[in-house]
Structure 1
Amino acid sequence: MVGSLVRSSGHLAVEGFSPEAVVTAEGVSKKFCRQLRRSLWYGVQDIATDLVGGSRQGDRLRPKEFWALQGVSFQLLPGQALGLVGSNGAGKSTLLRIISGLIKPDLGQVRVRGRLAPLIALGAGFNPILTGRENIYANMSILGLSTRQIQARFDAVVDFAEIWEAIDAPVQTYSSGMTARLGFACAVHIEPEILLIDEVLAVGDVRFRMKCYQRLARLRDQGTAFVLVSHNPNAILNVCEQSVYLKKGQLVAVGPTEQILRQYEADLSLGDGQSTAEFLRLPAKDPDESLGVDITALGFQDGEGNWQRHPTSGDPISLCVEVFSHRPIQRANVGVLISAVAGETERVLTLTCAAEDEYLTLPAGRSRVLMHLPNMGLLPGVYNLKVYVKEGVSSLDIVEYFRFAVHPGRLVSQCLFYQPRSWQVIPGSSLGA
């Protein structure tokens, strides 16, 4: 795609946009219908309206329609890397498809200046009956290259995709990884001014992914602008200086990536509709029902003993487990298991007194067990906490479910955890001294 393209419906103007921008989105809105039959009927109506020169009334929702995007405006400057941040269903992929020209907006317009390469669905445009060689020529010609230009880059494309042994075989015989590698190689070798990247950098093995990132870095040095969609904060932080935050089709914020990610993480941990309690209070059991120790309260406390509804990444906090012991326990083992609520509810942390050989002595009556954390090392998000108290192999009490949210504090998105540390300068020293 070469030159200056406009995908529009109506004309809007946004003040403050740079005339040098390679992509300018002005008040972009797109609606879809949730029912297939009704959607097809609406499509026929829209085509008929266009043929007779009528107005679609794109600002109105018809029955069963919803806004996938509404009033989104931003710009992409030459050589800039822009991140698109948002939960599933926020409209990120829809926006990329509008920019790439796959679909048109119902309202607003998108201006594109320069050759554009969409890395949205790698290999989706390949003809499965044609060979890899034939698909390279077809795909790269669609992306704006002449036959002579394709011939000059053909070997580099196949070398990058690492499919010489299968280049003359039909693409339908390729694995999904081979097809994705070939699609990526075609896109990056047209030397585009604009790259649209939608969660496609997980193709191949680790070595191939490293090669992809190195190629993208070279393109960036040559002035290629990026729009990157990823649910990995590390990728956004490492590549993008500016980011756009979308939420349910609405533009929430545009700004520096660090600031946008803080806001996004705060919404994930607090604004996702998942309730979190300040602390959990449980009644003590009847002595005949108790196994010797009852957990009566559970939560996080600050240094002054106040319950904290939301721990903050990087800040000191204590996990407090209040217990009632019907008899003294000399070697109590308290275990803490924390799982992430998002994704596959994977286990992220397991701590037990037994593993550290620090058994606890619980007196008869009420007491508090405090696990002091000099820094909350969890990333911002929502977690489930499980706590148990054992004596030897015998379980005395267990709390299976306590949901809590971690606030974003210091910037820890570039890490898997927050590492407590201190810094020191040693004057006059050298390695090996």
Structure 2
Amino acid sequence: MSVITVENISKHYIIDHQKGKGVNTLRDVLTENFRQLFGGKKGQETITREEFWALRDVSFSVEQGDRVGIVGHNGAGKSTLLKILSKIIEPTTGSVRIRGRVASLLEVGTGFHPELTGRENIFLNGSLLGMSRSEIRKQFDEIVAFAGVEKFLDTPVKRYSSGMYVRLGFAISAHLDPEIMIVDEVLAVGDAEFQKKSLGKMRDNSASGRTILFVSHNLTAVQALCNKTLYFEKGQLLEQGETNQVIATYLSKVSRTRLLREWDTPETAPGNDLVRIRRIELIPDYQDELTHIDVRTPMKLRFEFWNMMDHANLNLSMHLNSLTGECIFNIGTQSQAYGKGLIGGECIIPGYFLNDGSYTISVMIVKDTVTPLYNLEEGITFDVEDYREGVAWYGKWPGYVRPQFPFEMGMLEEASIK
């Protein structure tokens, strides 16, 4: 049974752009008003209007009990969609039909009155959801325990930190029995323990037949929670369906990956009179028929260059760097004597070595182990996506590397602990 049906909705805005003198400061406003009051001409300015479609012809349906992830770049229309579903704004065209009570957590402090205490806001939010005072009381202790705000329950929420706001807001939304729960990126404000609790609670809610819409840039969390996903780009719904497939499409479109650079002739290739680059390529061994690199993916780096010297002792030095420039590691080949011709090298980067993130590879040709002849900076750029199995924590894994070294534990001896 469909609990949400969206048919051809669009949301249209008009953006005004001022050119010319304009009115930008309080002084300008007062001067302009004084001039017009005494019959002066209005300051010369030109206002142009631009049409902006935050959403355009979006259609989909959500079944009861579905956990639907929504992914896309900032500005893709995700938050606009959630505001329409939450009845905060109206679509310009199209229709939305919702069956069931909706609880929305779209930003820090949504639905809170800053002057009221945490206790009072729990009852206020429950009332807005249509619950009786006795129904709220039944869930009250669980809400407070989940949010961890016992000490501040009778403190006005305007004095809460952003983390306390989110914890209480989510606890209210998750425990006051909504049929449909809408959660935006706000969970990113919470710590790792809170993320784990929240994802577990949403999973429990779904198991009991409640429907969840979840917007997040944390694709690991989306994969862990959601059975279906919507992918938005520039206000349009590009793909919808099973979560792993949709996220694979999304990653393939947004990746900054450049895995191959090659040149046909020495005359057009980068380098100098001694050496010139012919080709550099990173060849991933994709896992599970995917088309993007994740932390499991082994990779092979191949490098070819023309040597124009009759005799030279040469070696290759490969640097793998973070996108911000830190060198993760440097590895080199043995130095050998070569004559003129095409020379190649190959390096294997094993799977389960790099952490998720963005990386660049540069390769340097070195003579006599000490003299750099040419350095191809940022020859390759690629992204490594997260992948976790059997792990309930979805915060950022620290560090640039994430190796799987043998690491075991076990009982050394039985002992009575009193």
TM-score (norm 2): 0.72
How big is each residue's C-alpha offset from its partner over 1:389-409, in whole Å with a ceiling of 9 and x where there is no partner? 456565443222335567x9x
Identify if the C-alpha distance between structure 1 residues 136 and 375 changes in structure 2 by more than 3 Å, giving closer, same or farther: closer
Cα offset, 1:33, TM superposition:
2.6
Distance 2:282 2:118 in 1: 61
- Structure 1 letter corresponding to 2:363: V
Q: Secondary structure at the match of 2:200?
A: helix
Contact 1:30/1:69 (8 A) holds in 2? yes
Identify if the C-alpha distance between structure 1 residues 164 and 412 changes in structure 2 by more than 3 Å, giving closer, same or farther: closer
Distance 2:255 2:206 in 1: 33
Q: Secondary structure at the match of 1:329?
A: strand
Aligned position for 1:279:
262
1:88-99 aligned at under 5 Å gives the runs 88-99=74-85
Cα offset, 1:336, TM superposition:
2.6
Distance 1:160 1:379 in 2: 32
Aligned position for 2:88:
102
Cα offset, 1:278, TM superposition:
3.8
Cα offset, 1:352, TM superposition:
2.6
- Structure 2 letter corresponding to 1:363: Y
Q: Relative to structure 2, which stretch is displaced further, 321-330 or 374-383?
A: 374-383
Q: Secondary structure at the match of 1:201?
A: helix
1:118 pairs with 2:104? yes
- Structure 1 letter corresponding to 2:121: N
1:329 pairs with 2:305? no
Distance 2:69 2:9 in 1: 17
Q: Secondary structure at the match of 2:74?
A: coil
Contact 1:269/1:381 (8 A) holds in 2? no
Aligned residues with identical type, % of pairs: 34
Identify if the C-alpha distance between structure 1 residues 205 and 259 changes in structure 2 by more than 3 Å, giving closer, same or farther: closer
Contact 1:317/1:376 (8 A) holds in 2? no
1:143-162 aligned at under 5 Å gives the runs 143-162=129-148
1:361 pairs with 2:336? yes
Aligned position for 2:203:
217
1:168-207 aligned at under 5 Å gives the runs 168-207=154-193
Cα offset, 1:140, TM superposition:
2.3
Cα offset, 1:201, TM superposition:
2.5
Contact 1:242/1:256 (8 A) holds in 2? yes
Q: Secondary structure at the match of 2:230?
A: strand
Aligned position for 1:397:
374
Distance 2:91 2:230 in 1: 18
Aligned position for 2:41:
none
Distance 1:278 1:336 in 2: 17
Q: Secondary structure at the match of 1:66?
A: strand
- Structure 2 letter corresponding to 1:238: A
Aligned position for 1:11:
none
Contact 1:298/1:321 (8 A) holds in 2? yes
* Alpha-carbon RMSD: 3.9
How big is each residue's C-alpha offset from its partner over 1:36-94, in whole Å with a ceiling of 9 and x where there is no partner? 89xxxxxxxxxxxxxxxxxxxxxxxx931211111111111111111212222111111
Contact 1:177/1:203 (8 A) holds in 2? yes
Identify if the C-alpha distance between structure 1 residues 36 and 103 changes in structure 2 by more than 3 Å, giving closer, same or farther: farther
Distance 1:403 1:23 in 2: 44
Aligned position for 1:247:
233
Distance 1:238 1:26 in 2: 28
Q: Secondary structure at the match of 1:165?
A: helix
Contact 1:171/1:179 (8 A) holds in 2? yes
Identify if the C-alpha distance between structure 1 residues 167 and 376 changes in structure 2 by more than 3 Å, giving closer, same or farther: closer
Identify if the C-alpha distance between structure 1 residues 245 and 362 changes in structure 2 by more than 3 Å, giving closer, same or farther: farther
Aligned position for 1:263:
249
Identify if the C-alpha distance between structure 1 residues 170 and 321 changes in structure 2 by more than 3 Å, giving closer, same or farther: farther
Q: Secondary structure at the match of 2:188?
A: coil
Q: 1:63 aligns with which of 42, 49, 71?
A: 49
Aligned position for 2:221:
235
Aligned position for 2:5:
24
Cα offset, 1:131, TM superposition:
1.6
How big is each residue's C-alpha offset from its partner over 1:339-372, in whole Å with a ceiling of 9 and x where there is no partner? 45xxxx586x844325xxx534352434222224
Q: 2:281 aligns with which of 300, 304, 317?
A: 300
1:78-97 aligned at under 5 Å gives the runs 78-97=64-83
Cα offset, 1:324, TM superposition:
3.0
Distance 1:266 1:182 in 2: 37
- Structure 2 letter corresponding to 1:388: M
Cα offset, 1:110, TM superposition:
0.8
Contact 2:199/2:225 (8 A) holds in 1? no
Cα offset, 1:316, TM superposition:
6.3
Q: Secondary structure at the match of 2:187?
A: coil
Contact 1:129/1:170 (8 A) holds in 2? yes
Identify if the C-alpha distance between structure 1 residues 204 and 250 changes in structure 2 by more than 3 Å, giving closer, same or farther: closer
1:414-433 aligned at under 5 Å gives the runs none
Contact 1:301/1:317 (8 A) holds in 2? yes
Cα offset, 1:315, TM superposition:
7.8
* Unaligned runs of at least 5 residues, structure 2: 19-47, 285-290, 390-396, 405-418
Q: Secondary structure at the match of 1:121?
A: coil
Q: Count matched residues.
A: 352
How big is each residue's C-alpha offset from its partner over 1:245-267, in whole Å with a ceiling of 9 and x where there is no partner? 22211122222222222222222
Aligned position for 2:288:
none
Aligned position for 2:363:
387
Aligned position for 1:52:
none
Identify if the C-alpha distance between structure 1 residues 210 and 405 changes in structure 2 by more than 3 Å, giving closer, same or farther: closer
Q: Secondary structure at the match of 1:264?
A: helix
